[in-house]
Amino acid sequence: MNPPRPRRVPLPDTGRAAGARPAKQACGSTTPTSRTASAASLTGGRQSFLAACSLPLDAAVDCYGAFVTATPPEGMPLKIGPIKHLTKDLSCPLLGLFGADDKYPSPEQVAELEEELKAQGKTYEFHSYEGAGHAFFSVNRPAYRPEAAVDGWEKILTWFGRYLAS
């Protein structure tokens, strides 16, 4: 027997990102909202940043999204390039959650993105967790760091409450 498929919530504004859903519904509220956010981790963190630079969002969260400022190393199967140049188009406040022991993005790459956000006058908030590397939210991986993950979720919910509450 196959597991049930995730429920898809239709978007009131079809110009929004495919698969996104209003943040209040994502948090369990039944109150309708027209505000939309993007949040993701791993490669999805990069995609969340890209969505926030390409779509009219109200808030975004990048959890250790790699290769926003750097190119993947030689031999890595990803064939993507840096997207830091899109920072000027960021449409919403950005929350970034990173591991201080991560290589992709490294603390230096996080600092580079932060400098670009400052230079472009964008609203953002970054947090780095000591002792955490890539995928510290992933409960099914050895990289999981419960303290960082719990604190990160609290920051995400606070962020969405600040920018999505109507």
**pLDDT category, 31, cuts 50, 70, 90?**
low
Q: What pLDDT shows up at residue 41? A: 95
56-105 confidence digits (pLDDT tens): 999 999 999 999 999 999 999 988 999 999 999 999 999 999 999 999 99
Q: Is residue 69 part of a domain?
A: yes
Which structural domain range is residue 64 located in?
A: 36-164
Q: Is residue 123 part of a domain?
A: yes
The domain that holds 108 is classified in CATH as 3.40.50.1820
- In this prediction, residues 43-68 reach a mean pLDDT of 96
pTM comes to 0.81
Q: What pLDDT shows up at residue 165? A: 87
Strand blocks (E) in the chain? 37-41, 59-63, 94-99, 124-129
Q: Is residue 10 part of a domain?
A: no
Q: How many domains does the chain have?
A: 1
Q: Is residue 6 part of a domain?
A: no
Q: What pLDDT shows up at residue 116? A: 98
Q: Is residue 30 part of a domain?
A: no
Q: Is the pLDDT of residue 15 over 50?
A: no
106-142 confidence digits (pLDDT tens): 999 999 999 999 999 999 999 999 999 999 999 999 9
Tell me the C-alpha distance between 117 and 111, whole Å: 10
Tell me the C-alpha distance between 90 and 106, whole Å: 21
Q: What pLDDT shows up at residue 12? A: 33
Q: Is residue 1 part of a domain?
A: no
Q: Is residue 78 part of a domain?
A: yes
Q: Is residue 145 part of a domain?
A: yes
151 within 8 A of 63, measured Cβ to Cβ: no
Q: Is the pLDDT of residue 51 over 90?
A: yes
